Structure 1
């Protein structure tokens, strides 16, 4: 608990100073869930493939693991506007597509250290609606980030609406670095971007998801209770999750391979899900045409 309190104070202090900070592109858009962010103000098309060991949504997971793979595409304009789409399929199920996301937004960079983006995403699911993200339909995302040099501070705000309404603030501190040496040629390089994050917000989507899946899911991670007290607690604004993530990427001029490890600590888990500490693994490849 002492470590968590210190981490909380450090993130709050740096993030408040970064209110004019640098914005990053939404995950699943230009970066295809990778953490090697490169802002290119050119007309371009990016395509990406991603494998994940479990589906997480704002610090919460379903009652069982849902490994998945996804494909993404985004179109960028010189002016900073972008449109994107992605398809996701869960591994181990006969469904061809479990989720489709479509959206768009605007990327701006008023200074070298400060950049930002605002975007809208629409979530579309098949009738099974297995993953916890299916408890909502729409997301408005607004990011601010500031690169201090030794580290980068990021503040992300999300408003979810549709089947459930929630608001989140994600605070992160990261340190991007790359070695001077090259692996195979002068055009390739490795990058590392360790990040600590904290998610604060409401979790009405957990209540909606539990109501959708109370019947037919028999699992020790699900509490067979649902009452007004749980619903009230889900609507309170609390800390939801602490995490540490270590992405390691191999980069060339047009493409990137990335492996990322993430350790997640859920807190204030309310309602029907009993989320526990969990390790996540992601493999990502994306290619940029311009």
Structure 2
């Protein structure tokens, strides 16, 4: 059986590595970039791992995830878009990290619908205060059904405090390209180990999280296009309106939340006989966009981490024509760190 010191080291390793590997694809938050999941400091991770491997200076993580649907900062589509994703992450003891994540929507003909490239730096401000800054660039496959992004870059900054009762994180993200948006994600979580209940040697626990997302919605005004245009550009795709592949991620492939193909780029104008009026004031206003509850089960088996998760999202303050609705999301993530 794992000793108390061994268990504590594994628990700390879970806390820090989990937040990092979740942050990189979501940035967010924004993950909340962005499922996203968010990092703690690489310094804390290095200190923990150093107890067992004093000479180790860096770590690699290979991960894979599948989910039953996709969303973008609380906005989802009328049609479900399940996806699979693969991630490769490098973390240096100094706190510098880099990551590449590729997404494949199940209903598309291409092999890769989107690839996100991210770099960042994680560091500790005080013993219980952690921070991360990062940049990400988003690349899309030629035949992806995702509407081509007006924003393809993201800058994010995150601070987190472990104050005993809860682990609280605040992430701010600036998404830019042809247009721009700002987002903030406030989340509270606490990892609760369960294996001590039966003296288990492997770390098993739940990591419930409650989060609130706020931001602007220029992406909604500029990303929509008609179903006819999308079908003509991507013949045979059969996927009018599509969701970004990672929940909470500030991705470049902004989707049509309503799945209607409405053109909101100019208020009162549209194609295909359909119009939706969205004012500049509406999309520029910084509003709460989403409330979310997530309940993952975390299982550590040596260097492997398994995480089945349930998430319930409640979008609010939608602009006109936004068909996003409260719904459940299911996902499964597996990763290997070495």
TM-score range, shorter chain: 0.7 to 0.9
Moved more, 213-222 or 243-252: 213-222
Quick check: 1:261 aligned with 2:310?
yes
Higher-Rg structure is 2
What count of residue pairs does the alignment treat as equivalent?
A: 267
| Distance in structure 2 (CA, Å) of the matches to 1:152 and 1:132 | 36
Quick check: 1:203 aligned with 2:225?
no
| Distance in structure 1 (CA, Å) of the matches to 2:81 and 2:123 | 35
The CA deviation at 1:112 is: 2.9
| Distance in structure 2 (CA, Å) of the matches to 1:133 and 1:144 | 31
Give 1:240's aligned residue: 289
Question: Would you say the 8 A contact 1:46–1:288 is kept in 2?
Answer: yes
| Distance in structure 1 (CA, Å) of the matches to 2:143 and 2:77 | 13
Matching residue within 171, 175, 199 for 2:190: 175
Moved more, 206-215 or 173-182: 206-215
Quick check: 1:230 aligned with 2:286?
no
Question: Would you say the 8 A contact 2:318–2:324 is kept in 1?
Answer: yes
| Distance in structure 2 (CA, Å) of the matches to 1:26 and 1:133 | 26
What's the CA shift string for 1:95-153, capped at 9, x where partnerless?
11000010100010133311111111101112445347945201111111111111111
The CA deviation at 1:160 is: 0.1
Matching residue within 105, 109, 115 for 2:124: 109
Give 2:61's aligned residue: 46
The CA deviation at 1:224 is: 3.9
Matching residue within 19, 24, 33 for 1:29: 24
Moved more, 211-220 or 129-138: 211-220
What's the CA shift string for 1:52-71, capped at 9, x where partnerless?
11111111123421100010
Q: CA RMSD in A?
A: 3.0
Q: Give TM-score, length-normalised by structure 2.
A: 0.71
| Distance in structure 1 (CA, Å) of the matches to 2:142 and 2:70 | 17
| Distance in structure 1 (CA, Å) of the matches to 2:61 and 2:115 | 17
The CA deviation at 1:273 is: 2.7
What's the CA shift string for 1:143-190, capped at 9, x where partnerless?
11111111111111000001331000111111221024377962x121
Quick check: 1:68 aligned with 2:83?
yes
| Distance in structure 1 (CA, Å) of the matches to 2:97 and 2:20 | 10
